[in-house]
Structure 1
Amino acid sequence: MDESPISLTSNLEEMAKLSNVEQTQLILARLMEGGQEDDDTCRELDRLTKMLNDDTQNKDKEQSICDVIDDVCVDTILGYLDMRQPDSVRSHAIVSTSAYLKAAGEKGNEALRKFFSDRVERGTYDDYIVAFCVAASVFPIAPAVTTDIFLSEGFLSTLDPLMRRKWKSRKVETACLEMLNVASMNSQCREAIQKYCADWLEEVVDQDPDEMAKAMYTTDPEIQVSEGSIAMRRHSSAVQNLAAVILAKLRAVPSSAQQTAEGSEGRIQQANTSIEDLSKMFSTMILKDPEQGKRHSVEGLAYATIQPGIKEEVAQNKELLKALVKILSDAPAKSPLTYGALSIFVNLTRYQPVQSEEEKKMTQLKAYANATGKLGAPNPLNDDDHVSERCKKVFEAGIVPVLVTHSRHGSVASLNLIVSIISALSVTTSLRGQLAQQGAVNLLIAAVSALPDTEAQAKRTAAQALARILISTNPALVFGGTRARPQNSAIRPLIYLLTLDPGAETRDLLPTFEALMALTNLASTDDDTRVTIIRNAWSEIEELMLSSNNLVSKAAVELVCNLVQSVEGIAQYAADTPQAANRLHILLALADAEDEGTRSAAGGALASLTAYDAVVKGIVKRPRGVEVVLGLCGEKSEDLRHRGAFVVYNMVACEGDAGKMARKEIRDKNGIEILKECAKTSRKSEVVEVTVQALKALLEQQD
C-alpha cells in the first residue's frame, strides 16, 4: 500500500534528524531489502540521487556519503538497471547511477569496473543479463570508463561462443544486443564489434525465425510447441531486428579498417547482408507491424538513410513516409523514438553544404590523394534537384504539423533536428506559403528564442528558414490571424543574420541577403514595423549598404527605401547633423553605383526623401549631387528614368530657398535638355508625365 501523507511526513521528519551518512545508509538498506512497490523504490532512488547531488555540491563536508557505499551497495544500485525491472524503476536508477559516478569520481569508476568484471567472471545467464544491461545504460553517462570496460582484453571474444550456444537465453541475447547497439555509437567500439561480432550478427539477421518450427513439424507433426519458446524459434523477430540495427550502424558508418580496405582494394568486401537488405527489413517491419520493435526499426532506418540510394527508396514509398509521420506523431517527447524518426527526415531532406571554389578544389585534391587515385564524383542522388523532390514528398506526407507539435515540448537536440527539416523544406519556393499556413513561422520564431546561445548555428538556421518564408509570403496573411504572433516578433531573429557568423570558416552572405529581403517585405506594411527595424538594426543596415557584394548592397538599400516611408526613417537623412549629411552622401553615391539594381534602389529612396526641404538642400550642396540625380534621368531603363524624373520633380517643385537653389543648380547643369531627352525617349506614360511636370516647373518659375 502507498504511504499516507501523514506517515510520509513523519518519515521525512525522522530522516531529517539523522546525519547525511545515516540517511544514506537507511536509504540503501531499504533498496537492498527489495519487495517494495515500484513507486516506493523510485522514491528511495530519488532520495539517494538528492543525497548524492548534495554531497557533490558540498565542498565543506567532513565525510562523503560515498565512503559508506561499498561494493554491495553499488551492486544493489546497478541491479535496478536490469531489463527485467519495470521501466519506471530503471529510469530512476540511471539518474541515481549518474549521480553516484559524479559524486564518487574515480572510486565510482573502479566500482563500476569491478561490478562488470565480477559479473562476467561468474558467467551465469543472470549475471550476463545484469552486466550487459548496466553497460548499455551507463554508456551514455560515462562513455570513457564504459568504453575501457567494453574493449578490455578477452571480453568481446567471449561473446561469440556465448551467443552461439545451442541452448541460449533470449534475455541474454537481447541484453547483449542492447549493449552492442549503444556501444556501436563509439568508433573504437564499432571497429571491435565489426571484428568479433559481425559474423554471428549476420547469422541472427539471416536466419528464418520459422525455420526450426518447420523442421520440427516435418519430423513430428504431433509435437506441441508453444509460441515464443526457444524450441520453436532460435531467434525472435525482435532480436533479429535489434541485430539488424547494429549491422546498419556498421554498414552506414564504416570502421577505419573497412576504409583502409576500400583504399587498398578499391572497394569494401561485400557483406552477406547489405545496407539495402537491412533497410528493406526495417521498412517492412514498420509497415507490417509498427508496434513490434518500432524503436529499433526506426533507429536502424535512421542509419540506413545516410546512404543516398536508400534515401531515394524511402522517399518514393508514400505509405512508408506516412507511417513514419504517424510514428513521430505518436512518439513521446524527448524519447529515443522521436529522435530516431526525426533523424530519418533530416537525412531525407538534407542538402549538401555549399562549397566555395577553393573548397571544391581541396575536396578534389583529397580524393586524388586517396590510394585509388580517383577523383570520386559526388553521388548524383545527393544533388539539389533530388533533395528538392524528396523534400516535396516529405512535406506531402504531412510532416509540418507534427513538427510544430513536437517543437513545443521537445529537447534541444530534437529542436535542432526540427529546425534542420523546416529549413530544408523552406528552400523550395513553392512550399513556403504552405509552410507559413501550417505554423512553421511561429515554430521558427520560438526556436530562435528557445535554443540556447551554445546552439548558435541552429539559431542561425532557424532565422534563415524564417527569412526564406517571409520573402515569399504576404506578412498580412502570415501575422494576421488571431493566434498568430505579432509581426515584430520576427524582426529580432532576422536581425541575427545581419552580422556574419563568427564561427564559420567561410564567409556566406546568403543568409544576410535573405534576411534583408525579408525585412524589406515586413517594412512594406506599417510604421510600427519600420520603427522597430530602425531602432534595432540601423547601424548594421548602413554597414551592409556599403557591402562589396552587389546583391547584399542592393538589398540593404531596398530596405532603406521602405524604412524612409516612416518619420523615423526620414529623420536619419533630413536632420541637421553631420551624420545625416554623410548618410545622404552615401545614398547619392549608391545612386551612381555600377550595379543597376543598387542605382534603382537608391533612386527609389531619394524619390521619397526629396519631399523634404532639408534633403533637397543637402543634395544641392553636395558636390555632384545634382549630376547624380540628372544621371538617373538619362538611364536606358525606364524604371530608373522614372525614379530620376520623380526626384527632379520633387526638387524643382520644392518651395522656399531649397526650391530656388535646386532649380538654379538643375538649370546650370543642363537639366532642361536632359529632361527633354528623357521625355522623348520614354514610352511609359507615367515617366513622360512626371518628366513633363518637372520641365514645366523649371520653365514657369523664373527665380
Structure 2
Amino acid sequence: MLAKSKEHQSFLPDELSYLITAFVPTQEASTRSKAYLVLSAYCQGVRQKSLPAKEEGQTDPGTLSLSKTFAPIVVPHLAEIKEQDVIIGLSFLSALFQVDWQAASVIFQQESIQESLKDILDLGPSDVVSVELAHLLSQAAGHKACRAVIPIECVEWLHKSFRQTKDKSLRAAAAIAVVKLSRGNKADSAEVAEQPEEVQSRADDELVGLMKGLVVDEDRGSIADAVEGLAYLSVDSIVKEALADDSAFLTHLFSVVPHRKNQQTPLSDLHSSLLYGVLIIILNLCVHRPRLSAEDSEIEKLRRMAKGGKGSSTSAQGPAPDALDDDEHVQKRGRKVVQCGALDVVTTAVRFADSEGIRATASKILLNVAEDKENRGKILQSGGAKALIYIIRKSSASPSGSERSPELTTSDLDAIQALAKLAITSSPVQVFGPDSGAIYDSVRPFSLMLTSSSSNLLQRFEAMMALTNISSHSEEAAARVSSAQGLVEKVEFLMLENNTLVRRAATELMCNLLAGSEEIFERYTGTGSSAGTAKSKLHILLALSDVEDTPTRLAASGAMATLTNAPEVARALYELDNEHHRVLRIFTQLLDPTISGVVEEEQDADEDRPEETADPGLVHRGVVCICNFLGNLDAEARKALVEKAETQFLCTALVNVIKSNSQNATVLRPAAESLKILLESGFKIPGFMQ
C-alpha cells in the first residue's frame, strides 16, 4: 500500500491512516524507512504543485495544504487517552518535522497541540511516551517559532528528564532538546540575558559527559541521540578541545560506523543518520574560521561595534576572536581526528550513504583537513581523492550534454577545491591513478572553478596550480586544459592580477600550455590569430619577464624561450624593441641585472628596486631566448641590432655568462652561439678576437 500511495498526488483515507502508524518505535526499521520515503515524496509533490507565497512573511500555499492534510489526524491522536494513539501522534509529527519542518511547525504551534502536550504530562506518561515526547520537543526546539510556544511545563519536564538516571534513552533525548533550547534562545534575540560563562561551561561539561558515556556504552536506543547532541555541543570551542583531546573516545565514536573495507552493502537508515551526526562532529573539530577579505573584515568590525551598542565597552576592533579556533588549534585538532580514523569514516560515508547532505559535509571536512599539508598524503591513502571524484561526478560539475557552464554551488566548490589541494602537492598519477582518462576528466571541474563567477580568488589560484600540474603530465593533458571553455582567456586576464601569487600561478600555467599545446603556441606566434593580437600577448609576457617576483619571471621567460623558436615571434620582438626599446634590456637583465647602463637607465622609473643577483634559472632562459631571437632574425635585422647601444650591454652580459659557465653546456652553448651571431653580423667587442 505504501508503494502504491507514493505514486498518487493525494492519500486515500485508509492509506493515510496506515502511513501515520508507520513511524511508531515498534515498527520494523525497513517499514519506517519506506514510510519516510512516501511522506517525503508526497510533501514534495504538493509543494511542486503549489504557487509561492504572494507576500513576504505570508505562509506559502504548500505549507497550508500540508498542514490542513495532516493536522486533522495529528491533533485527535494527541488528544486521546489511549497510549498507542498518543505514540502515533507524537512519532508522526516528529517524522513530519524531519521531512517538512514548515508544515510541522504550523501544526505544532496550534493551541490545541500545546494543551495536549500539557495533558500528556499531567497523565504521567509511560517510558515509551516520554521518549517520543522528548523527541518531538527536540525537533520543535530546533525552530524559532516553535521554541516560542513550547509550554513552560514541557521545558521543566525536559530538564527533570535530563537529570534522572533511570532511563538512558529518555535522558539522551531530553538532553538534546535542552541543548537546542538553550542554544536557540540565545540566538533568537540579543536582549536575552546570557548565562555567566562558568555556569554555561559547567552545564556543557555535564551534557558532554553524558553524551560521551552513552556513545561508549553503545546503547542502541540512545546512541543516535547522543551523537546528535554532541554535534550541537561541538560548535563550542571548549567542547571541541575536550573531544579532540580524548583520543579513546574519538576512536570509539568512529568505530560505530562500519569500516569501509568490511562493508559490502549500503548503510541502513539508522547508520546513515548516525553517520551524518559523526561527520558533523568531525567537521566542527577541524573547520577553519572563514578567511575574510579586507572589505569583509571592515564590515564585520562595524557589525561587532553595532552589536555592542552605545556605552558598550566593546572596542573599535570588537571582541577578540576565540583563541581556541585559530589556525594553530584547528590544525592540531585536525591531526588528532585524522590519527583516530576520521578519514575512514568520511570515505565510508561517501561510498555507502548516498545523501546530498553527507556528500556536502564530507567535502567540507576533506577541504579543511587538506589545509594542513601534513594530512594530504593520509587523505590519498584513505581513498579521499576517489571520494572527492565521486562527489564531483554527482554534482553540477560533472560532464553533461550541455555546452553551457553550470553555476557551481558552495558544496561543488568545496569538493573541487579539496581535490585541487591534493593535485597541487602530488603527481597526477598519485591523485587520479594510472588511468589517463581520470586525469583528463579532472580538467573540467578545475576549469569550472577557475572560470566560475561563484569562486573566490583563492579557489581560482588553486585551480590554476592544479591545472599546471596536470598540464605537465603529457601533451594530451595540456591540450585538454587549453581547450576548456573560457580557460585561456581567464588565465590571460589573471596574468595581469595585482596579487603576486595569483599572477605567478597564471603565468606558470600559461608557460606549461605554451610548451604542451600546439593551439596555444599558435595563439601567441600569430599563426593562430592576428599578428597584432599575438604581438600584444608577447608584450605582456615580456613585461612579466621583468617583474620583481622571481618565480613569475622564470615562468614568463620560460614561455618566451619556447616562443622564440618561431620566426614570427622573433620578428614581433624586433618590432617591439624598435617601438619601446625594452626587449634587449629585459633579455640582458635576465643574464645579469647589475650591468652598468641597464639598471641605471631605469632608476627613475623604479628608484627603490633592490640590487639583484643573477638567478641560474633566469640565466638559462635568457641565453635560450637570445639565441633563438637572434637566430630567427634575417640578416638586415641583425645588422640593425648591432647599431643599438643596448647590444653592447647584451654582449658584455653574454661574455660574463660564458666565463662563469664554462662547465655548463646547457648555458654555454646558446651563449656562445649568440655571440657568434653578433660577431658575424659586424659587432666588434673590444679585446675579443674575431
**Deviations 1:319-358, CA, capped at 9 Å, x for gaps:** 2222222223369266211211111111111111111233
**Contact 1:412 1:451 (C-alpha < 8 Å) held by counterparts:** no
2:180 aligned residue: 249
**Contact 2:363 2:411 (C-alpha < 8 Å) held by counterparts:** yes
What amino acid maps onto 1:611 in structure 2? N
2:337 aligned residue: 394
1:649 aligned residue: 627
1:78 aligned residue: 20
Q: Distance in 1 between matches of 2:155 and 2:202?
A: 10
SS in 1 for 2:409: helix
**Contact 1:367 1:373 (C-alpha < 8 Å) held by counterparts:** no
1:133 and 2:91 equivalent? yes
Higher alpha-carbon deviation: 405-414 or 82-91 = 82-91
What amino acid maps onto 2:641 in structure 1? E
2:350 aligned residue: 407
2:490 aligned residue: 540
2:419 is aligned, of 451, 456, 466, to 466
**Deviations 1:456-505, CA, capped at 9 Å, x for gaps:** 111111111122111111224334546x8632122112112222533x7x
1:441 is aligned, of 364, 385, 398, to 385
1:495 aligned residue: 447
**Deviations 1:132-174, CA, capped at 9 Å, x for gaps:** 1121111233323321221222643653564365x53111111
For structure 1, the 5+ residue unaligned runs are 1-43, 56-65, 210-235
SS in 2 for 1:408: helix
Q: Distance in 2 between matches of 1:612 and 1:107?
A: 72
| Mapping for residues 223-238 of structure 1, pairs under 5 Å | 236-238=167-169
**Deviations 1:370-410, CA, capped at 9 Å, x for gaps:** 35542322111111111111111121122324422332342
Q: CA deviation at 1:206?
A: 1.4
SS in 1 for 2:483: helix
Q: CA deviation at 1:254?
A: 3.7
2:599 aligned residue: none
Q: CA deviation at 1:314?
A: 1.0
Q: Distance in 2 between matches of 1:403 and 1:553?
A: 35
For structure 2, the 5+ residue unaligned runs are 50-61, 260-265, 397-405, 594-611, 684-690
2:273 is aligned, of 298, 311, 336, to 336
Q: Distance in 1 between matches of 2:413 and 2:483?
A: 21
**Contact 2:212 2:249 (C-alpha < 8 Å) held by counterparts:** yes
| Mapping for residues 51-66 of structure 1, pairs under 5 Å | 52-53=8-9
Higher alpha-carbon deviation: 587-596 or 377-386 = 587-596
Pair 594,136 (structure 1): closer, same or farther in 2 beyond 3 Å: same
2:254 is aligned, of 303, 325, 329, to 325
1:61 aligned residue: none
2:303 aligned residue: 366
1:572 aligned residue: 523
SS in 1 for 2:257: helix
Structure 1 vs Structure 2 CA RMSD: 3.1
Q: Distance in 2 between matches of 1:304 and 1:566?
A: 52
**Contact 1:435 1:441 (C-alpha < 8 Å) held by counterparts:** yes
| Mapping for residues 378-389 of structure 1, pairs under 5 Å | 378-389=321-332
**Deviations 1:165-205, CA, capped at 9 Å, x for gaps:** 5x531111111112112222212223444855332212112
Pair 688,127 (structure 1): closer, same or farther in 2 beyond 3 Å: closer
Pair 377,113 (structure 1): closer, same or farther in 2 beyond 3 Å: same
Higher alpha-carbon deviation: 243-252 or 301-310 = 243-252
Higher alpha-carbon deviation: 76-85 or 608-617 = 76-85
What amino acid maps onto 1:81 in structure 2? F
Q: CA deviation at 1:701?
A: 4.8
Higher alpha-carbon deviation: 447-456 or 354-363 = 447-456
**Contact 2:468 2:509 (C-alpha < 8 Å) held by counterparts:** yes
**Deviations 1:422-451, CA, capped at 9 Å, x for gaps:** 101111012223322332223223322212
Q: Distance in 2 between matches of 1:661 and 1:290?
A: 87
**Deviations 1:285-332, CA, capped at 9 Å, x for gaps:** 212326452211111111111111111111111122222222233692
Q: Distance in 2 between matches of 1:509 and 1:200?
A: 51
2:554 aligned residue: 600
**Contact 2:654 2:675 (C-alpha < 8 Å) held by counterparts:** no
Q: Distance in 2 between matches of 1:190 and 1:426?
A: 38
Pair 610,272 (structure 1): closer, same or farther in 2 beyond 3 Å: closer
1:303 and 2:207 equivalent? no
1:417 and 2:344 equivalent? no
Q: Distance in 2 between matches of 1:272 and 1:388?
A: 24
2:477 aligned residue: 529
1:346 aligned residue: 283
SS in 2 for 1:497: helix
**Deviations 1:505-563, CA, capped at 9 Å, x for gaps:** xxx31111111112122222211111111111222222222223232122111112122
Q: Distance in 2 between matches of 1:403 and 1:186?
A: 28
2:103 aligned residue: 145
| Mapping for residues 504-653 of structure 1, pairs under 5 Å | 508-536=456-484, 537-566=487-516, 568=518, 569-576=520-527, 577-578=530-531, 579-593=533-547, 595-622=549-576, 623=579, 624=581, 625-635=583-593, 636-639=612-615, 640-652=618-630
1:218 aligned residue: none
TM-score between both structures, scaled by the size of structure 1: 0.79
1:287 and 2:229 equivalent? no
What amino acid maps onto 1:356 in structure 2? S
**Deviations 1:246-289, CA, capped at 9 Å, x for gaps:** 22222344445674223xx6858946971221111111221232
2:637 is aligned, of 638, 656, 661, to 661
Q: Distance in 2 between matches of 1:134 and 1:327?
A: 28
1:23 aligned residue: none
Q: Distance in 2 between matches of 1:99 and 1:412?
A: 16
1:27 aligned residue: none
Pair 558,238 (structure 1): closer, same or farther in 2 beyond 3 Å: same
Higher alpha-carbon deviation: 320-329 or 461-470 = 320-329
1:175 aligned residue: 132
SS in 1 for 2:23: coil
Q: CA deviation at 1:606?
A: 0.7
Pair 540,242 (structure 1): closer, same or farther in 2 beyond 3 Å: same
Q: CA deviation at 1:413?
A: 1.1
**Contact 1:202 1:273 (C-alpha < 8 Å) held by counterparts:** no
What amino acid maps onto 1:574 in structure 2? T
Q: Distance in 1 between matches of 2:588 and 2:561?
A: 13
Q: Distance in 2 between matches of 1:291 and 1:88?
A: 16
SS in 2 for 1:486: helix
Q: Distance in 2 between matches of 1:678 and 1:494?
A: 42
Q: Distance in 2 between matches of 1:659 and 1:529?
A: 39
What amino acid maps onto 1:404 in structure 2? T
Pair 597,327 (structure 1): closer, same or farther in 2 beyond 3 Å: same
**Contact 1:332 1:338 (C-alpha < 8 Å) held by counterparts:** no
What amino acid maps onto 1:127 in structure 2? D
SS in 2 for 1:459: helix
SS in 2 for 1:197: helix
